[in-house]
Structure 1
Amino acid sequence: MSSSTPSAAIGQPDEQRTSPRRLIFISVLVATMGALAFGYDTGIIAGALPFMTLPLDQGGLGLNPVSEGLITASLIVGAAFGSLASGYLSDRFGRRVTLRMLSLLFIVGALGTATAPSVPFMVAARFLLGIAVGGGSATVPVFIAEIAGPSRRARLVSRNELMIVSGQLLAYVLSAVLAALLHTPGIWRYMLAIAMVPGVLLLIGTFFVPPSPRWLASKGRFDEAQHVLEQLRDTKDAAKREVEEMKTQEKQAHKHVAARELLRQPWVLKLLLIGVGLGFTAQFTGVNAFMYYTPIILKHTGMGTNAALTATIGNGIVSVIATLLGIWAIGRYGRRHLLMTGLVIVIMMQAALGSVLMFMPQNLTQSYAALACILVFLLFMQMCISPVYWLLMSELFPMQVRGLLTGTAVSMQWLFNATVAFLFPIAVDTLGNPTFFVFAAINIGSLIFVFLCLPETKGKSLEQIEKHMKKEL
């Protein structure tokens, strides 16, 4: 299980080795099983909760509003801890070993939620599952970024976001299909048990992918790093040049300075603050207010329950389409340009939704107008903001402490997620429809932050980005 152990493909003779493009494809596919599990686990609870609220003698857990909130929030809180811990683990033991450990947590956590006999057991199992979700959210983008070259990095890392939204859509669709086919109150256990599948695929897949060459280089194992890169690049000369760049950057970056001392340097602290600010920007768009509460928002316009639940599937479909468009766009436009474009549309849609809910009469027209605002919001959120956020988390931070700083920044993003999920229903109850104008105002502040503070990273290698950040910050 050592990160230095070559994969099956690495140990083959030259004529039998997997082609670089195919090996990268396999590695990305394996790693994003963690993202698929992430999406499924965060989405499936919406379909499972109605059945879990039934009394114990009818196959449920007898949930009340408080226990519903605890079960939903326990995964988010666990994710905050998981992303922070995985940052340390991935820097110490390697990205591949960390993914292997997380796969076990995905399997155990999913099995625990599917067999939970009581609310406390379910909360504990969801917290454990959250550790895996958070760990995957911090580790998967970094692993992909470190095996991809500069020209492929943006599109490959963006597949992480595609698998997240695909997992959410899969959860919404399976919830509806299982509810239609299996007329049993215990159906929620089947919904939650399916989450073990991507965990098992991730566990098996980690034995067929190489370790991160940049993690090997950060440990001074340059020969091993070059051996891996020769399998991931089109020519041995390209691999050699990349390793030489790593060696040069390693000498210039810290000159034997310990990681602890590097963390005290002002430019590194500024980068961390930018990473935390980006997490605030992503979550305070209000995206999870829509992902968690769209049916409730639409029911307030007079839309029926079944129609509102169907609209939630629409959220998932739009998110997948938008992410595919984002993968196309992110290879052509700069990170700053996409992020600011997305924020401008998000601000407009939050203001438009607030206006629709406040000033239009409550009828079918208002329902469709509100739904249109939500879907346009999600289109630009998932096309321009979410994929750019995860890409930046994989490339902003210096190699020596990349796992730790990514884990810290993503952990804060999960705490912002929990804050929005907790405060949104309270804000709607207290302020009413003007809540959406508050989101618009916050997003104006986020737009100013991105314009003033975020550097452009498009087209640069990870080593060039590090050199640029150190010089500019």
Structure 2
Amino acid sequence: MSGSPAGAHTSSGGASLPPLTDGPHRKRLGVVALIATFGGLLFGYDTGVANGAERPLQAEMGFDTIQIGIVISSLIFAAAIGAMIGGRLADQIGRRRTIIALSVMFFAGTLLVITSPGGPEHGTHTTLGFSLLVLGRIVLGLAVGGASTVVPIYLAELAPYEIRGSLSGRNELAIVIGQLAAFVVNAIIAALWGHHDGVWRIMFSICAIPAIFLFIGMLRMPESPRWLIEKGRGEEALRVLKTVRSNERAEAEFGEIEQVAVEEKRNDSRALGIRAVLSNKHLLLILVIACGLGIAQQFTGVNAIMYYGQRMLAESGFSEDMIGWVNIAPGVIAVIGGTIALFMMDRVNRRTNFLWGYGLTAVSHVLIAVSMILLFPEGNPIRPWAFLVLIVIMIGSIQLFLNIATWVYLSEIFPLHMRGVGMGVSVFVLWVANGVLALLVPSIVGAIGMGLFVVFAIVNAIAFLFVLKFVPETRGRTLEELEEDVTTGAIHLS
């Protein structure tokens, strides 16, 4: 199942479109992408902030290991639900309105977290404080999950196929920028006010700032033209396309999208929703493949580092004074790798990225396990630095080849009539896998220490074989061409 080369098409759609041109429409498209990716920035900050806040939160509130695991993982499990709801909601009320609603949820969730009662003045945590803290994390999780589904769809549907990978991939880059920002802000806040009670509240409060920017910005952004066409609002869709394309390209692309929408209506595909997936073996197979990629991405181990990096750095042997600062290194390499990945996204096939990514990640986990368990036992001064270097290599491999490629792939592989549902289901599965890890990592590290990386190595080797056998190529095709090939099963023959 080798991928088709860039520019190859199985139908005449992409090949017959006028070429992209520069002009105000390209700048407008860039502004739309910038505003929408504040959703990714919030995704990254709200998941990354726990990395530095969870230990002072646990100490101040008097939580045991299970309770802090519940607080951290509640966001992740809620994100799984948010992904499902967000996808369905985006199909019903539109991508733009859904993102606006999510920005309000980001703000409300932050307020619940930072105002939850507890701490020394209450004799550690109260039942109400714990409940409000978890509720706030759940609201944030619903918003994070919704954003992880809807923002990539929104960007993919607005992007020309030639630059769909790099434009859609900006959301994943925004996620790791958000995580890096959380690491840096946490380190600064800890250095300035770490000796004060409630320092974790300050860390969480920063989440409200990008939520405000997302809300204000999206009020001025257009709706997805593909969603408008699906809802029978063709004139409005053409007006939107003309703001982000040249007039000639907009009209040609509008005709192609409208033709597919008419064929869907003729076949009653639009009315079937999830039933369309279950009644078509080709759609069901693509959904299973997408879910498999979502699970595989989580078991790269990236979020074990992004959520519990400071805990694992302490396990490797770093002192308390250094943990906050060296924890920034994985965030920096994630941003660097993501930036390079954006450049590669429209030049390198998705399958090639996946194979290199899972191969290098599996090797990284083997090296970490061997180094930590056999070569550098506890007390060896080289141990913490060896761990940091290998973690940076691992995160770099994941971010360079896997994270952006996975989110782009999920946003483009599903046909229009099931895009919200398909993306919602696959991201739901992704978040459930994420939540299981978030809940169990503290206990696993406490039980087997660095043996955790042996498990990750095995799973990543399996993921490599999964991609090699089952995952088809998507680069170099319009969304309409992919829709035809996925629905008929032809995508597995290319």
Same fold (TM over 0.5): yes
Q: 2:430 matched to which residue of 1?
A: 413
Q: Match of 2:242?
A: 230
Whole-angstrom distance in 2 between the partners of 1:302 and 1:408: 40
* Residue from 19, 24, 29 that aligns with 1:19: 24
Hey, what's the Cα distance between the residues in 2 that align with 1:469 and 1:315? 37
Aligned to 1:368: 385
The answer to whether structure 1 residue 31 and structure 2 residue 36 are counterparts is: yes
Give SS of 2:61's match. coil
- Whether 1:108 aligns to 2:108 is yes
Residue from 310, 314, 339 that aligns with 1:295: 310
Which residue is equivalent to 2:15? none
User: What amino acid sits opposite 2:209 in the alignment?
Assistant: V
1:278 corresponds to:
293
Question: Does 1:147 find its partner at 2:158?
Answer: yes
2:229 to 203, 212, 217: 217
Structure 1 residue 419 displacement after superposition = 1.6
> What is the aligned length?
450
Q: Pick closer, same or farther for the CA change 1:301–1:206 going to 2, 3 Å.
A: closer
**Post-superposition shift, 1:432?**
4.8
CA distance in 2, matches of 1:305, 1:445: 36
Q: CA deviation at 1:287?
A: 1.4
Please, what TM-score do these two structures have when normalized by structure 2? 0.87
Distance of 2:388 and 2:198 partners within structure 1 = 32
Identity score, percent: 35
Q: By how many angstroms is 1:249 displaced? A: 1.7
- Do residues 255 (structure 1) and 269 (structure 2) align? no
Secondary structure at the aligned position of 2:71 is classed as: helix
Q: Deviations over 1:329-360 (max 9, x none)?
A: 11210111011111110011011111111211
Work out whether 1:158 is the aligned partner of 2:199. Answer: no
Q: Which amino acid aligns with 2:226?
A: R
State the AA in 1 paired with 2:331.
Answer: G
Per the TM alignment, residue 430 of structure 1 is displaced from its structure 2 partner at its CA by 4.5
- SS of 1:300's equivalent? helix
The AA in structure 2 aligned to 1:249 is: V
Contact 2:102/2:143 (8 A) holds in 1 = yes
Q: How far 1:429 sits from its partner (Å)?
A: 4.5
Corresponding letter in the other structure for 2:135: A
Change (3 A) 1:106 1:222: same
Matched, 1:345 2:360: yes
| Partner Cα separation in structure 1 for residue 69 and residue 465 of structure 2 | 34
Equivalent of residue 130 in structure 1, options 111, 134, 141: 141
- 1:329 alignment partner in structure 2: 344
Contact 2:186 2:324 in 1 (8 A): no
Q: Does 1:395 align with 2:395?
A: no
User: Does the aligned pair in 2 maintain the 1:295–1:305 contact within 8 Å?
Assistant: no
**Mapped contact 1:254–1:262 kept (Cα < 8 A):** no
**Secondary structure at the counterpart of residue 259 of structure 1:** coil
Does the residue aligned with 2:474 lie in a helix, a strand or coil? Answer: coil
1:51 maps to 2:56: yes
Change beyond 3 A, Cα 1:447–1:401? same
User: Which segment drifts farther, 102-111 or 183-192?
Assistant: 183-192
Please say if 1:175 is aligned against 2:192.
no
Distance 2:162 2:369 in 1: 41
Which letter does structure 1 place at the counterpart of 2:198?
A: G
Q: CA deviation at 1:207?
A: 1.5
Residues in 2 aligned to 1:441 and 1:112: alpha-carbon distance in whole angstroms: 39
CA 1:222/1:170 → structure 2, altered by over 3 Å: closer, same or farther? same
Show structure 1 runs of 5+ residues with no match. 1-17, 55-59
- Quick one: which amino acid aligns to residue 80 of structure 2? A
How high is the TM-score relative to the length of structure 1?
0.91
Using the alignment, how far apart are the partners of 1:181 and 1:300 within structure 2?
A: 25
Q: Please say which of residues 282-291 and 432-441 is displaced more in the overlay.
A: 432-441
Higher relative contact order (CA 8 A, sep 6+): 2
C-alpha distance after superposition, 1:124-146 (max 9, x if no partner) = 11101110011001010000111
Which residue type is aligned with residue 42 of structure 2?
Answer: A
Q: Are positions 1:436 and 2:450 aligned together?
A: no
Q: Deviations over 1:181-211 (max 9, x none)?
A: 2352123222212111111111111111110
1:431 Cα shift?
4.6
Partner of 2:81: 81
Q: Relative to 1, partners in 2 of residues 1:244 and 1:43: Cα closer, same or farther, differing over 3 Å?
A: same
Residue 195 in structure 1 maps to residue 207 in structure 2: yes
Q: CA shift at 1:266, angstroms?
A: 1.5
Structure 1 distance, partners of 2:222, 2:272, is 25
- Deviation for aligned residue 1:161: 0.9
Structure 1 residues 105 and 274: CA distance shift in structure 2, 3 A: same
Instruction: Give the Cα–Cα distance (whole angstroms) in 2 for the partners of residues 95 and 24 of structure 1.
Output: 16
**Residue matched to 1:449:** 466
Residue 359 of structure 1 aligns with which residue? 374
